[in-house]
Amino acid sequence: MRAEIRELDESDLEAAGQLLAQRHRRHRERQPLLSPRFEDPETATEELRGVWASKDASGTVALAGGELVGYLLGVPKDSPVWGPNVWVEPAGQAVTGDPELMRDLYAAAATRWVEEGRTAQYVLVPATDPGLVAAWFRLGFGHQQTHAVRRPLDREPAVAPGVRLRLAVRDDIPVLARLDVALPEHQGLAPCFSSGETGTVEEAAQEWEEDWENPDFTTYVAELDGTVVGSAVLCSISQSSGNTSLIRPDDCGYFAFAAVMPEARGRGVGRALGELGLSWAGREGYAVVATDWRQTNLLSSRAWPALGYEDTFWRLHRTVGY
């Protein structure tokens, strides 16, 4: 039976929440470290209501035999970093049966989005659903960002010769500021070509000075032969604005930042910092550790999986009109 596609409205949210709960249940069969809360249809529906309440939210639903069999919901973000945009957030889609239906839902929803000028489009897709991912790929979307999780380490990190790890002290602020700039500088190179603003070392140093006493973040540095060449910032995942909704596991630590100076890469510093974050999470009593990375960053897209992180969600991206 061919599905009928129409605009989504508030009366559809309860049925859409049922589909979302089913999708999340299937997702957790492949990735059990995700929160079980969203397997509950009421919780899933409340999450959808929150997205629907966002300014300029819009989407489509598919009906077959009078029953809702798919939905797609997008919302824009005010930040100019993302361009004239629309986002399909982690709760923003689900279909029953053939994921090809998502292409029809997108065709109807994107007509409005493009008419509104929202040509930079982003979608968060469960990484363990190859059919749904493939449907988005066939719509011209590419893999931009990866969210991933793993269990903490129950041992101290292994370190290469010459590498020493320690808590950062205030005297480290000048090098911490340089490391803050080193990462976006790297992201601006091929093949990332990130368009985000890099900022200056002076601005980064000022931010460190102003926020040094913040108890929500733990900062470590890595020394190589006595010189600080790397850093890592760790916290609860509740501090992450990019890891929310269905992406966010319960009782989870977050690897918020890691960078190594270009001249020190390839010496085991990054791996030592990566293991340090996993050990820190274990000592702090977290059940899960999460992080995320730009997929076109050759260094991070190889380093994090090598540390045992497993993909949960992929952010896909398309720019319409080129």
| 168 and 233 part of one domain | yes
Residue 52 lies in a domain: yes
Residue 11 lies in a domain: yes
- Segment 42-52 mean pLDDT: 98
- Segment 40-57 mean pLDDT: 98
Residue 17 lies in a domain: yes
Q: Which pLDDT tens digit goes with each residue over 35-44?
A: 999 999 999 9
| 107 and 229 part of one domain | no
Q: Which pLDDT tens digit goes with each residue over 171-214?
A: 999 999 999 999 999 999 999 998 777 899 999 999 999 999 99
- Segment 260-276 mean pLDDT: 97
* pLDDT confidence of residue 252: 98
Residue 72 lies in a domain: yes
- Which residues neighbour 6 within 8 Å (Cβ) at sequence distance 6 or greater? 60, 61, 63, 108
| 127 and 69 part of one domain | yes
| 224 and 282 part of one domain | yes
Given a cut of 90, whether residue 254 has pLDDT beyond it is yes
- For 25, the domain range is 4-140
Residue 149 lies in a domain: no
| Number of structural domains found in the chain | 2
Given a cut of 70, whether residue 1 has pLDDT beyond it is no
| 172 and 298 part of one domain | yes
What residue type is assigned to position 120 of the chain? A
| 112 and 177 part of one domain | no
* pLDDT confidence of residue 198: 83
d(CA 111, CA 55): 18
| 169 and 260 part of one domain | yes
| 187 and 122 part of one domain | no
* pLDDT confidence of residue 232: 98
Residue 45 lies in a domain: yes
| 167 and 129 part of one domain | no
Average pLDDT, rounded, for the chain: 97
Q: Which pLDDT tens digit goes with each residue over 214-240?
A: 999 999 999 999 999 999 999 999 999
* pLDDT confidence of residue 237: 98
The closest alpha carbon to 314, from 137, 99, 125, belongs to 125
What does pTM read for this prediction? 0.96
For the chain, report the end-to-end CA distance as a whole number of angstroms. 35
* pLDDT confidence of residue 80: 84
Query: What token pair was written down for 246?
Result: 């269905």
Q: Point out which residues pair with 196 in neighbouring strands.
A: none
291: domain CATH number? 3.40.630.30
21 with 41: CB under 8 angstroms?
yes
